[in-house]
Amino acid sequence: MLRVGLTGGIGAGKSTVSRLLVQLGAVLVDADVVAREVVAPGTQGLAAVVAEFGSGVLALDGSLDRPALGRIVFGDADRREALNAIVHPLVAVRRAELAAAAPEDAVVVEDVPLLVETGAAPTYPLVVVVDADAAERERRLVADRGMDREDARARIAAQADDEERRAAADVLLPNPRRADGAPDPLPALVERLWSERLVPFEEGLRAGRAGPVPSGTPTEADRRRVLDRLHPVGGRAALVGGDRWPLQAIVSADAGLADRGYVPAGQWRWDSADPGCAVRALVAPGVLEGLDVGGPT
Ligand code: ADP
């Protein structure tokens, strides 16, 4: 099984890309579905939200009045923080449950709108970002979803900016405005992502096989993402050696690497199974002690 984190700003085209991936065979963990489930009537989540925000966020039938809650939180960072503190942990647990229930050979695509904002990107073996600039996203929210312009702006401003999101992307899927009647390049891009990256990555993980060494040279952003992902909880990591694929790394502990796209290759070595990002990591407890190699970003 491979877990893929799919993200992008509101209106970027996550739902569009999710649909295409499902057509190709992915199992989708849909953010909207999960977000609704954890605050459905009768849940601990809804009780906690009402305790925090008052019964004014309930509709007449006892369900959560999302627009009412949205009006409270989207313009106010503190209130948003309070809501996130309740909902995010519940969402993470539910997401993991749904992913765990997928078949052993599944490519599980998790649509996670706030993947970058919550710092969860390195916990996924692969992060795919759907990219459309903020002005175009605003246009779509107003034109296609009938959102009020101020509301659209507030929602966009409440999320990570485009640069932060791009920096977290292992794969960037550009989805700019398409002229009326122009062919849509997205299905072909998604098909390539599926057949050249996701399927071989999943097969590699299941078979315990390292990915092939890609051509080209890793960028600074590649190195940063590799390091962030190699920092397991409480561990340290450093890149050593040259600046070509495969990147060589030393890690002080290997807890969690199996969940981040790595396969064991002998007692002290883990290799990335990602066909787009070759990494060989040596586990050497103690070697990094006393060295200033920094922590996770
Ligand atoms: P998200 O799930 O990221 O919020 P959606 O997939 O729902 O975004 O897309 C937002 C809106 O933009 C939808 O109405 C969709 O039809 C439209 N859309 C998606 N891609 C494009 C594109 N390339 N050009 C114009 N409109 C698009």
Would you state the structure tokens that stand for residue 217, as one six-digit string?
Answer: 């040279």
Among 7, 18, 144, 165, which residue has the most ligand 1 atoms within 8 Å of its CB, making it the best to mutate?
Answer: 144
Per-residue confidence band for 31, with pLDDT thresholds at 50, 70 and 90? confident
Cα 136 to ligand 1 centre (Å): 10
Does the pLDDT of residue 293 top 80, yes or no?
no
Per-residue confidence band for 236, with pLDDT thresholds at 50, 70 and 90? confident
pLDDT at 106: 98
Residue nearest to atom 10 of ligand 1 (CA): 11
pLDDT at 115: 93
Give the integer Cα–Cα distance in Å for 252 and 104: 29
Among 17, 140, 175, which residue has the most ligand 1 atoms within 8 Å of its CB, making it the best to mutate?
Answer: 140
The predicted model gives 276-288 an average pLDDT of 89
Cα 79 to ligand 1 centre (Å): 28
Architecture of domain 220-288: 2-Layer Sandwich (3.30)
Cα of 234 vs its chain's centroid, Å: 21
List pLDDT tens digits, range 39-67: 999 999 999 999 999 999 999 999 999 99
List pLDDT tens digits, range 66-121: 999 988 987 788 999 999 999 999 998 999 999 999 999 999 999 999 999 989 99
Give the integer Cα–Cα distance in Å for 192 and 207: 22
pLDDT at 286: 79
Does the pLDDT of residue 13 top 90, yes or no?
yes
pTM of the predicted protein model: 0.91
pLDDT at 75: 79
User: Pick the residue with more confidence: 217 or 287?
Assistant: 217
Lining ligand 1 with CB less than 6 A are 8, 10-16, 140, 144, 175, 177-178
Does the pLDDT of residue 17 top 90, yes or no?
yes
Q: What CATH number matches the domain at 2-194, 2.130.10.10, 3.40.50.300, 3.40.50.1000, 3.90.1150.10?
A: 3.40.50.300
pLDDT at 235: 78
The answer to whether the beta carbons of residues 250 and 280 sit under 8 Å apart is no
Cα 281 to ligand 1 centre (Å): 39
The predicted model gives 200-208 an average pLDDT of 98
Does the pLDDT of residue 246 top 90, yes or no?
yes
Which among 276, 131, 295, 153 has a CA at the least distance from the CA of 224?
Answer: 295
Atom of ligand 1 nearest to the CA of 16: 6
Does the pLDDT of residue 232 top 90, yes or no?
no
pLDDT at 296: 52
SS (H, E, C) the chain: CEEEEEECCCCCCHHHHHHHHHHHCCEEECHHHHHHHCCCCCCHHHHHHHHHHCHHHECCCCCECHHHHHHHHCCCHHHHHHHHHHHHHHHHHHHHHHHHCCCCCCEEEEECCCCCCCCCHHHCCEEEEEECCHHHHHHHHHHCCCCCHHHHHHHHHCCCCHHHHHHCCCEEEECCCCCCCCCCCHHHHHHHHHHHHHHHHHHHHHHCCCCCCCCCCCCHHHHHHHHHHHCCCCCCEEEECCCCCCEEEEECCCCCHHHHCEEECCCCEEEECCCCCCEEEEECCCCCCCCCCCCCC
292 class by beta-carbon count within 10 Å (0-12 exposed, 13-18 middle, 19+ buried):
exposed
Average pLDDT over the chain, rounded to an integer: 93
Cα 198 to ligand 1 centre (Å): 23
Atom of ligand 1 nearest to the CA of 10: 4
Residue nearest to atom 25 of ligand 1 (CA): 177
pLDDT at 271: 97
User: Pick the residue with more confidence: 291 or 255?
Assistant: 255
Does the pLDDT of residue 132 top 90, yes or no?
yes
Would you state the structure tokens that stand for residue 59, as one six-digit string?
Answer: 């509709």
Residues of the chain with CATH 3.40.50.300: 2-194
Cα 21 to ligand 1 centre (Å): 15
Residues of the chain with CATH 3.30.460: 220-288
**Among 128-132, 215-219, 238-242, which stretch is predicted with the lowest mean pLDDT?**
238-242
Across the strands, what pairs with 248? Answer: 240, 280
pLDDT at 155: 87
Atom of ligand 1 nearest to the CA of 17: 6
Atom of ligand 1 nearest to the CA of 12: 3
Atom of ligand 1 nearest to the CA of 111: 2
Q: What does the buried/exposed string (b/e) look like for 99-131 if buried means 16 or more CB atoms within 10 Å of the residue's CB? A: beebeeebbbbbbbbbbbbeebbbbbbbbbbbb
User: Pick the residue with more confidence: 179 or 294?
Assistant: 179
pLDDT at 290: 64
Does a cis peptide bond (omega within 30 degrees of 0) precede residue 246?
yes
The predicted model gives 271-291 an average pLDDT of 88
Cα 16 to ligand 1 centre (Å): 6
